[in-house]
Structure 1
Amino acid sequence: MEILESIVNFLNGILWGKNLLVYLLIGGGILFSIKTSFVQVRLFKHMIELLGEKSEKVDGNLSSFQAFCVSTATRVGAGNLVGVVSALSIGGAGAVFWMWVVALLGSATAFIETTLAMVYREKNENGEFIGGPAFYLKNGLNKKTLGFVFMGTGLICWAGVLQIVSNSVTESFKVAFNIDMKLMSIILVIISSLVIFGKKEKIAKVLDKIVPLMALLYLGAVFFIIFRNINLLPGVIKLIVSEAFGIKEGIGGAIGVVLMQGVKRGLFSNEAGTGSAPCAAASANVDHPVKQGLIQSLGVFVDTFVICTATAMVVLLTDGQIIKGLDGMELLQVAFNYHIGSMGKIFIAIILFLFSFSTLLGICFYGQVNVEFCSNKKIYKNLFKIFALSMIFLGGLHQNIFMWNLADLGLGLMTIVNFIGIVPLRNVALEELNNYEKIYLKKNIKNLKLFTK
């Protein structure tokens, strides 16, 4: 076990310690933003319009909104709470600004990878669309072996994330309600099994109810807090910008720490470029691949500019002396207690449960898609579900630092394999975008070339 931990730590030291993945993802975001002429800005209004467009579910496939909810479920998770708090604790308020920058660039990457997933997706024997990096590596680059590699690295990552997320739920319920962690683990496994045993469509149906609910609950509480402290808001915005560029006295020498914390946490949170979200997006029933690409691009905005920013505001509007020396979930619970009283601890426990449970379901969806890349036999899908439930149970019992490191490694390797596909195939996505803008947006439907590749 010690040898395995040493190997994992060594590889993470290269991928994350040397900031290799940070440079890769930022560089990719800049490249795709330039190549698409900043599609994430130009067509932002259209993205919102598409989210409200009716898209019927056909032959077991998902509606566009359901696919959006599945991918958003994994983006909007515990990282939006604990991850943001950690970034603020280490990098200060300026880290928030760099998270915004990462989201702006990452949304272009999300557009490219999702559009490619739509172009190169397949139909399984049940008539359901399945796709993602494994499929565009196979069908776009003729590199099926790399498709298997992506699936393997994904399983490594998701095994770690399932345990981490489960543990965050059981710990928060122990603090808030004094529920035994083992009992809570069993409850979490039972609830999860009721959803994931069945078709992938069942997961989507649950998530398109949970995701809007948890977002509204959380944002409602945050807007209440901001409204009560509206006079402090200009000062908070000024603090974020000043610390981002080292303008504030005493922070100048730490600008590198501020920047890297914002970048890293932003990348962890929105997942753009990792290849996860396209696994859900490819199941959407839309009449042009660019539509879902734009919707998934919007998902990055929602994750960072809305949810992550909301968390940051709660912390930054809290009296600094109250939260001094605190970190992680404890800091966030104290911050909410400061603003809304003793209910804060309970509120965060419930919100964390919704965020985390939706993440667990989203990961189970991703895993099933990648298992289908190898085989559509039911036994393999059920084995994955049993594997996922066992990770949820084990993670809920106690915190395992090695699983955090394993998740980091899997995420890093997934990203590298995904970029091997999306960089050389980017022109295919650009061709689809050009077709969409020239013909579809001009309402010339008769001349529309669906899936031009």
Structure 2
Amino acid sequence: MELLQKIISLLNDWLWSYVLIALLIFMGLYFTFRTKFVQFRYFREMFRVIAESPNQKGSISSLQAFFISTASRVGTGNLAGVALAISLGGPGAVFWMWLIALIGGASSFVESTLAQIYKVKDGSNYRGGPAYYMERGLNKRWMGIIFAVLITFSFGLVFNSVQANTITFAFENAFDVDRTIVGIMITVLTAIIIFGGVKRVAVATSIIVPVMAGLYLLVAIYVLLTNITDVPSMFSLIIKDAFGIGPAVGGTLGAAVMMGIKRGLFSNEAGMGSAPNAAATAEVSHPVKQGLIQTLGVFTDTLLVCSATAFMILLSGEYTKEGLDGIALTQAALSAHIGGWAEEFVAICVFLFAFSSVIGNYYYGETNIEFIQSSKTALFVYRLAVVGMVIWGSLASLELVWSLADLFMALMAIINLIAIFMLGKVAFAALADYMEQRKSGKNPVFYARNIGIHNTDCWDEPYEEWRKEA
């Protein structure tokens, strides 16, 4: 087991230090320039389209798809991951988290637009994602199967054990509750939701996500207002530390870059290939709409929630103390700001953040199980495996599991980035089609033939209702 841990750690160090960081930055910049800065130019448009309702009753709306992906994005990475990045990489890691989100927004736009273009019908709903656009867009089913296996294992199983582990530790520390009891409670709640199908997942996340993010951001705003005079010096510290100006605080320049990008990707998932699985579920008149909405999800995760955690930690000064990292650092920072009840508050936030991630992560596995083979038996076995990993993760020591999660996440991202680079021209053409219709004063409607593609399941024939509106 120790040898396996060393091998996985070596692979992680190589992939994260060289291959993935270079790919993420290159692809983010490439898509940013090729889309003419879509993540900034159409920021207002993101808010306009997110409020649209689906025409077909019972379908999943753009907003619900946004909540499914946000449920997965906004998890322990926003609390424990940000704290870990600061403790190991210093305050400068926050800047690199911001940067990877800003340029990664373009990668997120491309992958989510492609997921919508190549989605398939699933009764009254839809499913899709990287595996589907690898098969239909690239004609490489083998590539899709590899991706489907990686995401099912990493998100559906490994990441869910990590999320459950964080919940039980937080409750044990805050309330002195036995981890077994908390683990059983999480497992039962998970089973109730995931055995209800994707619609129940959408409903659950649409309730949990706004509540958890709203509560957390309100506390962060309070902390910022009560420390308003220290905010300028905090921003100065982040920028200086990011470029190695002045004395190092908590880490070297290299550590700041690597930890910021690594934890930023783990949190916002831009380019990783996970969020497109949620993006494909929405019923929209044009794929670009969901591409824009998922870009907003990257900004919500990193620029709002991750920044909230970072600001509270940096303004507290707790990150300079020895022996504090992860969720313990976040709890200590909040305690310094709001008093003794912070530990309990963080534990509740951890529960909401991590449990919503369990639900969102589960769905990513489900849609990829369906891609490999549409089988009720396989889906039932997968659901049992998810429940089993939740209870196991609630009680296990997870050093090896965390390392496996990082390795699988890196492999997923690399495969997905290669695929969206090869299919980028399809997303660029869809964006041009969308903006042309918007400039004509229309509500854009997509037809696959208009951009010269075929082999789509949902866009070959017009949606009559959408055509009437346009």
TM-score normalised by structure 1 residue count: 0.95
Taking the TM superposition and a 5 Å limit, the aligned residue runs for 1:58-77 are 58=56, 60-77=58-75
2:14 matched residue in structure 1? 14
The 8 Å contact of residues 72 and 361 in structure 2, kept in 1 or not, is answered as yes
After the TM superposition, which of the residue ranges 127-136 and 315-324 deviates more from structure 2? 315-324
CA contact (8 A) 1:94 1:242 kept: yes
Q: What's the counterpart of residue 233 of structure 1?
A: 231
Residue in 2 aligned with 1:182? 180
Q: Which among 145, 151, 154 is matched to residue 151 of structure 2?
A: 154
After TM superposition, give the deviation of residue 394 of structure 1 in Å: 0.3
Q: What's 2:295 paired with?
A: 297
Deviation at 1:195, TM superposition (A): 0.7
Aligned to 1:134: 131
Matched with 1:145 is 142
2:91·2:238 contact (CA, 8 Å) conserved in 1? yes
**SS of 1:293's equivalent?**
helix
CA distance in 2, matches of 1:19, 1:396: 33
- Cα 1:160/1:252, change in 2 over 3 Å: closer
Query: Runs of 4+ in structure 1 displaced over 6 angstroms?
Result: none
Write the distance in 2 (CA, Å) between the matches of 1:321 and 1:426.
41
What is the CA-CA distance between 1:59 and the residue it aligns to? Answer: 6.1
Q: Measure, in 1, the Cα distance between the counterparts of 2:319 and 2:41.
A: 43
Please list the CA deviations of residues 389-425 of structure 1 after superposition, one character each: whole Å capped at 9, or x if unmatched.
1010000012221111111111111112212310110
Cα shift at 1:426: 0.1
Residue matched to 1:26? 25
The answer to whether 1:402 aligns with 2:393 is no
- TM-score normalised by L of structure 2: 0.92
Query: Distance in 2 between the 1:210 and 1:277 partners?
Result: 18
Number of the residue aligned with 2:41 = 42
What SS does the aligned partner of 1:287 have? coil
How do residues 323-338 of structure 1 correspond to structure 2 at under 5 angstroms? 323-338=321-336
1:437 offset after TM fit, Å? 0.7
The equivalent of 2:463 in structure 1 is none
Q: Which amino acid aligns with 2:141?
A: K
Please give the alpha-carbon distance, in whole angstroms, between the structure 2 residues aligned to 1:391 and 1:105. Answer: 34
Distance 1:310 1:351 in 2: 13
Name stretches of at least 5 consecutive residues in structure 1 with no aligned partner.
Answer: none
Aligned to 1:81: 79
Q: Which amino acid aligns with 2:71?
A: A
Figure out how many residues of one structure are paired with residues of the other and give that number. 449
The residue that corresponds to 1:390 in the other structure is 388
Distance 1:324 1:12, change over 3 A: closer
- Matched residue type, 2:67: C
SS in 2 for 1:19: helix
CA positional deviation for 1:156:
2.6
Change (3 A) 1:228 1:132: same
Distance 1:60 1:387, change over 3 A: farther
Does the 8 Å contact 2:190/2:387 carry over to 1?
yes
Deviation for aligned residue 1:305? 0.5
Summarize the alignment of residues 243-258 of structure 1 with structure 2, pairs less than 5 Å apart: 243-249=241-247, 254-258=252-256
8 A Cα contact 2:90 2:248, kept in partner: no
| 1:339 match: secondary structure | helix
Aligned-residue offset at 1:240: 1.1
Give the C-alpha shift of residue 377 in structure 1. Answer: 2.4
SS class of match (2:316):
coil
Equivalent residue number for residue 114 of structure 2: 116
CA shift for structure 1 position 381:
1.3
Percent identity of the aligned residues?
42
Write the mapping of 1:140-219 to structure 2, written as runs, cut at 5 A.
140-158=137-155, 159-219=157-217
In 2: Cα distance, 1:211 partner to 1:79 partner: 15
